[in-house]
Amino acid sequence: LSKALGITKKINGKSFKSENIWIEDKDVKILKKDIICSKRVGIDYAEEYINKPWRFRIKESKWTSVAK
Residue 67 domain-assigned (yes or no): no
pLDDT digits 0-9 by tens, 13-50: 888 888 878 888 888 899 999 999 998 888 989 999 99
Does residue 13 fall inside a structural domain?
yes
Q: What pLDDT score does 32 carry? A: 95
pLDDT at 68: 60
The CA–CA distances, whole Å, from 38 to 21, 23, 56, 68 equal 32, 27, 7, 8
Structurally, how many domains does the chain consist of?
A: 1
Average pLDDT over residues 57-65: 86
Tell me if 68 is assigned to some domain. Answer: no
For residue 21, being part of any structural domain is answered with: yes
Q: Are 44 and 50 in contact (CB under 8 A)?
A: yes
How many whole angstroms separate alpha carbon 17 and alpha carbon 56? 28
Asked if residue 12 belongs to a domain, the reply is: yes
Q: Is residue 20 part of a domain?
A: yes
pLDDT for residue 28: 85
User: Is 66 part of any domain?
Assistant: no
Categorize the per-residue pLDDT at 67 as very low, low, confident or very high, splitting at 50, 70 and 90. Answer: low
Burial class of residue 33, CB neighbours in 10 A (0-12, 13-18, 19+): exposed
Domain of 6 in residue numbering reads as 2-58
Query: Other C-beta atoms within 10 Å of 11: how many?
Result: 14
